[in-house]
């Protein structure tokens, strides 16, 4: 099984062997899904798109894009450290992303008011240091030249059955935690002051959310690559929040956009010699641009979620 996986992805890695694209879509799809490694890639992509979409939706709502990007790139040292130590890449991904989440949560403090904030400096320091660690590990592990691109840009189609199961169970755990904290998290994200006054543990929720974000980033980076996970986290959510302001339909839209981008990206990367991360981020970005153009001056951007009124109070 795993032999055929690596063989097939090895074939895909050389440009000459990309399968021809005919205009018979059904036959093309049938051919593509005839390969077990493509089926696994689609399974993993689906799991990742759903988890990253839901977590990313909260990330965009909480305006933690920079922190999300930092947690996403933390997967790079995870992957290279795992290669250096000879342990499972999954363990490496999760260890580094969670450690970065805890570091940001400890060092940064909730900022009051607008404008100047030290938190962004903290996040920047963590991000640069984490990437430098990844570089060091890759440098020490002499598989340097080719080795650096796969964990960064997600060129790998080689996902095994066991990895799909692991991704699925981690994803289910992340979604379960989000389901438990979802409502108070939404409240505290929209209006932290009122939520705190009502007795919601805003700071604790923030820490838990950062850890959940780290776990989701670690999971997503196994398919999209550490540098491009961010596109799965931020773009579908940004697109959906541009289109609707209702939380539930917005989350559903986010997941939908994420799935379309991932499936489209996987298909494109199968038929064309383009890197997977580029294909996924291009589909996501195309959707984002379309959403912007379609709402451009037709109506005001609907962002009642961002207004300083508590949930349930209409003016």
Q: Nearest Cα to 72, choosing from 42, 101, 51, 50?
A: 101
Q: Is 280 in the site for other proteins (CB under 8 A)?
A: yes
Shorter beta-carbon distance to other proteins: residue 164 or 191 = 191
The least distance separating other proteins from the CB of residue 97, rounded to whole angstroms, comes to 17
- Distance CA(160)–CA(124), nearest Å, equals 34
Nearer of residues 122 and 212 to other proteins, judged by Cβ: 122
**Smallest distance from the beta carbon of 6 to other proteins, in angstroms?**
20
Q: Which of these segments, 62-70, 80-88, 90-98, 162-170, binds other proteins (CB under 8 A)? A: 62-70
Asked if 218 interacts with other proteins (CB under 8 A), we say no
Q: Is 49 in the site for other proteins (CB under 8 A)?
A: no
Six-digit token string for 11:
């074939």
Q: Which is nearer to other proteins, 151 or 171 (CB)?
A: 151
Segment contacting other proteins by CB under 8 A, of 4-12, 112-120, 158-166, 167-175: 112-120
> What is the closest distance, in whole angstroms, from the C-beta atom of residue 45 to other proteins in the complex?
16
The binder of other proteins chosen from 66, 141, 263, 271 (CB under 8 A): 66
Identify which range of 17-25, 82-90, 145-153, 250-258 contacts other proteins by CB under 8 A.
145-153
Near other proteins by CB under 8 A: residue from 3, 34, 115, 199: 115
DSSP string, the chain: -HHHHHHHHHHHHSGGGPPP--S-HHHHHHHHHTSHHHHHHHHHHHHHHHHHHHHHHHHHHTT-HHHHHHHHHTHHHHHHHHHHHT--HHHHHHHHHHHHHHHHHHH--PPPSSS--SHHHHHHHHHHHHHHHHHHHHHHSS-HHHHTHHHHH-------HHHHHHHHHHHHHHHHHHHHHHHHHHHHHH-HHHHHHTT--HHHHHHHHHHHHHHHHHHHHHHH-TTTHHHHHHHHHHHHHHH---HHHHHHHHHHHHHHHHHHHHHHHHHSSS-HHHHHHHHHHHHHHHHHHHHTTTS----GGGSSS-TT---
Minimum CB distance to other proteins, residue 279 (Å): 8
Q: Which stretch binds other proteins (CB under 8 A): 20-28, 92-100, 144-152, 157-165?
A: 144-152
- Asked if 295 interacts with other proteins (CB under 8 A), we say no
Q: CB–CB of 217/72 below 8 Å?
A: yes
> Restricting to residues 5-34, which ones interact with other proteins according to CB under 8 A?
15
Q: Which stretch binds other proteins (CB under 8 A): 30-38, 87-95, 127-135, 176-184?
A: 127-135
* Residues 5/158, Cβ–Cβ less than 8 Å: yes
Count of residues of this chain found to bind other proteins when the rule CB under 8 A is applied: 59
- Binding test (CB under 8 A) with other proteins, winner from 171, 206, 247, 277: 277
Told to check if 308 binds other proteins by CB under 8 A, we report no
Q: Does 293 bind other proteins (CB under 8 A)?
A: no
**66 Cβ contact partners less than 8 Å away, ≥ 6 residues apart:** 120, 123, 124
Q: What angle do CA 141, 147, 150 make, to 5 degrees?
A: 140
Q: Binding to other proteins by residue 157, rule CB under 8 A?
A: no
Q: Which residues bind other proteins (CB under 8 A)?
A: 15, 60, 63-67, 69, 73, 107, 115-125, 127-129, 131-133, 135-136, 139-140, 144-146, 148-149, 152-153, 225, 227-228, 230-231, 234-235, 237-238, 241, 273-275, 277-278, 280-282, 284-285, 288
């Amino acid at each position: 099984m795993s032999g055929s996986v690596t063989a097939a992805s090895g074939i895909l890695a050389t440009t000459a062997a990309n399968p021809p694209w005919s205009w018979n879509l059904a036959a093309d799809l049938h051919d593509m899904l005839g390969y077990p490694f493509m089926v696994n890639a689609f399974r993993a992509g689906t799991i990742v798109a759903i988890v990253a979409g839901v977590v990313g939706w909260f990330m965009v709502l909480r305006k933690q894009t920079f922190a999300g990007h930092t947690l996403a790139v933390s997967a790079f040292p995870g992957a290279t450290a795992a290669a250096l130590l000879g342990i499972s890449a999954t363990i490496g991904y999760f260890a580094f992303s969670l450690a970065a989440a805890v570091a940001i949560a400890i060092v940064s403090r909730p900022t009051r008011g607008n404008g100047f904030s030290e938190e962004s400096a903290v996040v920047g320091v963590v991000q640069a240091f984490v990437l430098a660690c990844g570089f060091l590990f890759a440098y020490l592990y002499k598989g340097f030249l080719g080795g650096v691109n796969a964990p960064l840009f997600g060129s790998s189609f080689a996902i095994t059955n066991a990895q799909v199961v692991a991704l699925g169970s981690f994803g289910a755990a992340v979604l379960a935690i989000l389901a438990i904290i979802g409502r108070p998290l939404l409240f505290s994200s929209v209006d932290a002051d009122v939520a705190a006054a009502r007795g919601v543990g805003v700071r604790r929720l923030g820490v838990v959310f950062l850890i959940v974000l780290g776990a989701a980033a670690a999971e997503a980076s196994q398919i999209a690559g550490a540098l491009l996970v961010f596109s799965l986290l931020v773009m579908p959510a940004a697109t959906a929040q541009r289109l609707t302001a209702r939380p539930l339909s917005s989350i559903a839209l986010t997941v939908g956009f994420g799935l379309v981008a991932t499936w489209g990206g996987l298909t494109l990367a199968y038929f064309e010699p383009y890197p997977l991360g580029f294909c996924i981020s291009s589909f996501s970005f195309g959707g984002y641009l379309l959403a912007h153009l379609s709402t451009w001056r037709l109506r005001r951007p609907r962002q009642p979620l961002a207004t300083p009124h508590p949930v349930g109070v209409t003016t």
